[in-house]
Structure 1
Amino acid sequence: MASDEKTEKATPKKRRDQRKKGHVASSKDVIVVASLIGCFYCLQMLFPSIYRALRDALIFQVSSISEMEELSLSNLQLIGMKSVNTLAKCIFPLGVISLAIGVLATGVQTRFLFTKEPLKFKLSKLNPLNGIKNMFSAKQVVELLKAFIKIIILAVVLYGILKDELVMIAQMMDVDPANSFAYVLKEVMSMVLKIGMVFAAIAGFDYFYQRWSYEKGIKMSKEEVKEEFKQMEGDPKVKGKIRSLQQSMARSRMMQAVPDADVIIRNPTHYAVALRYDIDHDNAPVVIAKGQDLIALKIVEIGEQNKVTVIENKPLARGLYASTPLGGQIPAEYYGVVAEILVEVFRLNKKLE
């Protein structure tokens, strides 16, 4: 049915829910390329220290073996521990750097999302039918094509490099080991850079494909959007309570403004409107509080407690209440009658002062 088609973009709520589940767009190729290039550049910088460590370890092993009177287990353990220690010193920095680059590349793509949801055990993961479906899905076809393209590119680049440098690499057998290693490392870095540039282009394509695939996967039908909107609207009772609380808070703020009024116009028991007029800031008198029945009586009570003049005028009270919103200026048709009242109020206040 048309209503079931996934044609609508995912709502912010749907995106938040997917993110909580750990479903975000990310490209593994970006992580691999970043780690590959980063590790090889670090290897180039660390090569002198790695070379010295390996050289010293080799010299130690040769000299130790030549000085041994007998090949005992303790001697072999000493040489073995030295070798393991040297390898650890050489490999550990590269491992840490590779891990850091991988975490950073993943974090940048996922905005450093951390969730335990993907680690939870689910029986559906053990269903062989789901596994078979995934094997023949469009996503797996794309992954297979990418792997095939990578193999072809890698073979072409390696062939081009080795074809030109094979003779020179063979001649390195007669060169000083340090210079030989330096040359080989330089060629390897050149090869890695060329392959990395090509793989970076593939990773860029993969990143945009993963974004497109993710957006397509989280699309919603119109019916789903409507249902989510209803859920977000909430229970009518809850909405009523929220509205009641909001009105209560607004009423409280309104009552706090009553002492600042210059005059309160009332219809004995049904309506009350509190007006304020600041000659320097207001173009016309402003309604700072208004109410009916019990609220009207409360406005009058607060006004009298704060010595605000209260004037009874039934038509004016009803008219101002109906025509002027809270915080709004009174309509022009009431300027005359309100001006007369205010003049009288200001005159009385001056006399009292």
Structure 2
Amino acid sequence: MAEKDQKPTPKRLRDARQRGEVVFSVDVSSTVVFAVVLVSVWLGGATLFSLLRELWLHATSGTLLARPDDRFGELLVHTGETLLWGTVPVMAIAAVAGIAGSLFQVGGLMAWQRLKPDVNRLNPAEGFQRIFSTRNLVNLLKMVVKTVLIAALMFVVIRAYLDTALKLGYARPSAIMVAASHMVLVTFAWAVVIYAVMALVDYAHEHYEFMKQQRMSIEEVRREYKENEGDPTHAARRRSAYFEAVYFSLADRVRAASAVIHSARVAVALQYLGEHDLPRVIASGEGEIAAQIRRFASEGLIPMEFEPALAERIFDEVPQDQAIPRALYAPVATLLRWAQGSEP
């Protein structure tokens, strides 16, 4: 089998996308969800605290403690309402964030082909090869690094807040909750930073693995080129027909020119119909087309002058069938006077 050492072509990448094969990092989506949920909890912290406070006051009220059997059902209903109002909005936000994280990576892609069962996944040899693949080893390494970083973060946070935590033993419950929530938010905020960095690393690795998987051999590149461009003989015939059509119209344009100027690279045919008209470019080209313009001008006895600087400037700045700009009036007027047989 030929070695696949060529970069994938745009068509190869488009075909892979249609099959549902795209660069996708689970870490990126999970990091987006984690960060969005953390921000939503932080912004809605006062509401959550108020709900928990009401539940606590209800659970420890004198009425409930005096008649627990009669009030137990009411407590369950209150607890369910608190959990509902406290978790459903966060879960909805997490779901939206997960969808947004996926759309950010792959766009609006619907690849139903990915839902078809793949017999190769049932092959024990293929499964064994996937387990011990380079991708899984790299994923294991990333997991170890992430675990070490999170453990280091926990150590730093606990060490920084150890004195504060010991002093909270004599504080009121509300103060304990405020301090604990602050420590948790600080920990999670730094965890988001760690997850974001690891997500970038994971995305870069997934991109590398994807491009490696889509590499092509020389034979595949040649076959794709042949499929796109057709048989070389037919392509040559199409190019020949194109140039014949171009040169046919080009000859008519050059024969109608007042003068032709050229450099070694380009040629420009100018037309001037009189004092009530402006000089305009009626034909221009480079390479083979420039050579044809010079040949048609020579055959048609059109005045032709070697003016490299002026020809290059007009070719670069003035499109075909457009008038000469004011900045070029003087040199073009000199050229046209020469072409008409007048003294410069």
Unaligned segments of structure 1, at least 5 residues: 263-276, 287-323, 337-353
Is 1:333 matched up with 2:299? yes
Kindly name which structure, 1 or 2, has the bigger radius of gyration based on alpha carbons.
1
Q: Which residue in 2 is equivalent to 1:95? A: 91
How far did residue 162 of structure 1 move?
Answer: 1.1
Q: What secondary structure is seen at the aligned counterpart in 2 of 1:331?
A: helix
Q: Which residue in 2 is equivalent to 1:308? A: none
Q: What secondary structure is seen at the aligned counterpart in 2 of 1:85?
A: helix
CA distance in 2, matches of 1:70, 1:138: 61
How far did residue 328 of structure 1 move?
Answer: 11
TM-score under structure 1 normalisation?
Answer: 0.64
Cα deviation, 1:221-241, whole Å, max 9, x if unaligned, reads 11000111122234899989x
Contact 1:26–1:110 at 8 Å: present in 2 too? yes
How far did residue 175 of structure 1 move?
Answer: 2.5
CA distance in 1, matches of 2:86, 2:280: 80
CA distance in 1, matches of 2:162, 2:68: 43
TM alignment of 1:101-250, pairs within 5 A: 101-234=97-230
Structure 1 residues 164 and 283: alpha-carbon distance in aligned structure 2, compared to 1, 3 A threshold: closer
CA distance in 2, matches of 1:284, 1:233: 33
RMSD: 4.0
CA distance in 2, matches of 1:81, 1:237: 81
Identical residues among aligned pairs (%): 23
TM alignment of 1:256-267, pairs within 5 A: none
How many matched pairs?
A: 275
Cα deviation, 1:177-220, whole Å, max 9, x if unaligned, reads 33322221211122222233233222222221221221111110
Cα deviation, 1:17-52, whole Å, max 9, x if unaligned, reads 111112111222222223223222221111100111
CA distance in 1, matches of 2:225, 2:75: 71
Structure 1 residues 121 and 278: alpha-carbon distance in aligned structure 2, compared to 1, 3 A threshold: same
- Work out which of the residue numbers 25, 32, 57 in structure 2 matches 1:27: 25
Contact 2:226–2:232 at 8 Å: present in 1 too? no
Q: Which residue in 2 is equivalent to 1:303? A: none
Q: Which residue in 2 is equivalent to 1:51? A: 49
Q: Which residue in 2 is equivalent to 1:310? A: none
Matched letter for residue 230 of structure 1: K
Is 1:42 matched up with 2:36? no
Q: What secondary structure is seen at the aligned counterpart in 2 of 1:191?
A: helix
Structure 1 residues 172 and 239: alpha-carbon distance in aligned structure 2, compared to 1, 3 A threshold: same
CA distance in 2, matches of 1:285, 1:151: 71
CA distance in 2, matches of 1:70, 1:91: 28
TM-score under structure 2 normalisation?
Answer: 0.66
Matched letter for residue 124 of structure 2: P
